[in-house]
Amino acid sequence: MQIILASNNKGKQKELQQILQENPFTFHTLSEYAQIPDPPETQKTFRGNALQKARFVYGFTGGIVIADDSGLCVDALNGAPGVHSKRYTPEATAESNNKK
């Protein structure tokens, strides 16, 4: 059974393949689907973003899709950056986000 990860993260692909190695699952990342752009992440919650990404990728493939979303919720920053962790700075790069 083929399962599409709504992510380009090869690490997630490898982890799931190892965890479920006894099952007939094959995991694919978005890097294997050039026709699919990066899924949007415009929701106000991690759950909302995960659902948005899964539905977006499903719209292109019609296949089984798994998606997740995560971020850092820092008490000293009143929960920020939270759901906006990936886009915490205008540059939206790991380097600029870490610096801020």
What amino acid positions are annotated as catalytic residues?
69
Rama region for 92: left / alpha / beta (φ>0; ψ in -120 to 50; rest): left
Cβ-based burial of 57 (10 A; exposed 0-12, middle 13-18, buried ≥19): buried
Q: Answer whether 23's CB lies under 8 Å from 50's CB.
A: no
